[in-house]
Structure 1
Amino acid sequence: MKTTGNTIFLTGGTSGIGLGLARRFRDLGNTVVISGRRKDLLDQLAADEGFGTVELDVADPASIAAAYESVTTRYPETNVLITMAGVMRGEDLLDPAHLETAEEAIEINLLGTIRSITKFLPFLLDKPEATIVTVSSGLAFTPLVVTPTYNATKAAVHSYSEALRAQLRGTNVQVMELVPPAVQTYLFEGKAPDPSWMPLEEYVDGTMQAFADQPDAHEVLFGVGFLRNSELENRYAETFATLNNH
């Protein structure tokens, strides 16, 4: 993926890693369109920071279809889709009420990703140097016990990304998977950022450098090797215990 000269649409992008990356891509001269459910926040970001904005709830297929029409009409040069929208909530699996949380995570993190890609893919197939960037997590590879369905959705996004890349081999569409570590954002609902997590600006700096240094990478990795490579390096049990004891 080239880092300049793109028109980029992010599902999500109004806060956290999404907004951090949106700002960096914008500053490199890309046209960046962000989305979210809060029109007031989108309007503020458009006015203050010059982003294109589109209202979008990735849990709603009709909203995805409407966002697609808006993006492709207003920004016909769109050649990059980043599926950033996601939720992360804790679950007590002994409490049947956790099912609602699990269903929401699957609807947003997994189905939202699949539906967004499915809607935009035919359009991207006609664009030169097109890229789809999916977003998984280090927890896809070493799970956090308190967020079981979040972990599972991100493991599914990883698997889906691998299959998508293989099926798109020979086309003009590149598939990259962004694999974040624990970053100091408010993604984990109900939990303030932990000082032990990576500072957001450090993560964005490292990730943008990774995009620049490895434009053909299948996975965009920065600061996540502890989780991503635990099984590959034969230390999964130790890493799982360390993560969850912490």
Structure 2
Amino acid sequence: MNISGNTIFIPGATSGIGLELALALRAKGNTVIVGGRRTELLERITAEHPGIHAVRVDTTSPDSIREAASQVISEYPEVNVLVTMAGIMRIEDWTKPEGFLATAEETVTTNLLGPIRLVAAFIEHLRTRPEATIMTVSSGLAFTPLRITPSYNATKAAIHMLSETLRLQLAGTTVKVVELEPPSVATDLVPGQRESSFAMPLEEFIAEVVMLIETQPDAREIQVERVKFLRYGEARGDYDETVAAVNHLDPHGK
């Protein structure tokens, strides 16, 4: 993906990583359209950040995705980059008979069906562009699980494999598939994460991501240094120790 000269749609960019990435990419000379559910929030973003555009989209709704895609393609026909940023992270306890199923289903709908439907809505158009990119967003937890977020881990692992497979299918076309793999970042994704000493500062994360896009335009995976501990535990041969460290366990999982 080239760092500049793109028209980029980022659903899920009204806060956190999505918004900061949108602003950073706008500063690099791209046309950026952010997407989100709350019209008033989109209006505030466009007022506070001149040059940022906005389209309402609810990525849990197939109809909303289709309508948003139609609007984006109609109003911004040069759109050539889709960043499937929208996602949620919920704590679940599967050892209890009640309370986790609805949360798990919501997580799958948002984190997995949402990106699938977004790609389906844009793929035909993207293939008409001379150069195009689908940027998926997985997580370091796609490779090393956090005990308290099973559905989140699973959906991000699925996004990783979806990205790998789409890249195979789109080989030879004008569409590249790039996977962004954040570590824990200081946002409000889950309560307390913004204040966590383990989380990477948001500004630091965005700066490194932009640097990687700029210096590695052909990269298949965007990996800041902090995520490599999670990403490569199995390859290093210390997967059990990595899982234990992330979950504050001893190496035997106790």
TM-score (norm 2): 0.95
Matches of 1:244 and 1:57, distance apart in 2: 32
Counting matched residue pairs gives 245
1:229 corresponds to? 232
Structure 2 SS opposite 1:5: coil
1:143 corresponds to? 145
* 1:128 Cα deviation after fit: 1.3
Q: Which residue, 132, 153, 156 being the options, matches 1:154?
A: 156
Matches of 2:4 and 2:107, distance apart in 1: 32
Alignment of 1:240 with 2:222, yes or no, is no
Amino acid at match of 1:80: V
Structure 2 SS opposite 1:65: helix
* 1:89 Cα deviation after fit: 0.6
Structure 2 SS opposite 1:231: helix
2:42 corresponds to? 42
1:200 corresponds to? 202
Instruction: Provide Cα deviations, 1:123-170, integer angstroms capped at 9, x if missing partner.
Output: 000011100000000000001000000000000000000000000000
Matches of 2:78 and 2:127, distance apart in 1: 12
Identity of paired residues, percent?
50
Structure 1 SS opposite 2:234: coil
Q: Is the contact between residue 34 and residue 53 of structure 2 (CA under 8 Å) also seen in structure 1?
A: yes
Gap regions ≥5 residues in structure 2? 250-254
1:66 corresponds to? 67
1:165 corresponds to? 167
* 1:191 Cα deviation after fit: 3.1
2:25 corresponds to? 25
Question: Following TM superposition, where does structure 1 have runs of at least 4 consecutive aligned residues deviating by more than 6 angstroms?
Answer: none
Amino acid at match of 2:101: L
Matches of 2:102 and 2:163, distance apart in 1: 26
Matches of 1:196 and 1:122, distance apart in 2: 40
Matches of 1:136 and 1:196, distance apart in 2: 19
1:54 corresponds to? 55
Equivalent residues in 2 for 1:72-221, closer than 5 Å: 72-95=73-96, 96-188=98-190, 190-193=191-194, 194-221=196-223
Matches of 1:140 and 1:238, distance apart in 2: 16
* 1:195 Cα deviation after fit: 2.3
Gap regions ≥5 residues in structure 1? none
Structure 2 SS opposite 1:224: helix
TM-score (norm 1): 0.98
CA-atom RMSD, angstroms?
A: 0.9
* 1:213 Cα deviation after fit: 1.2
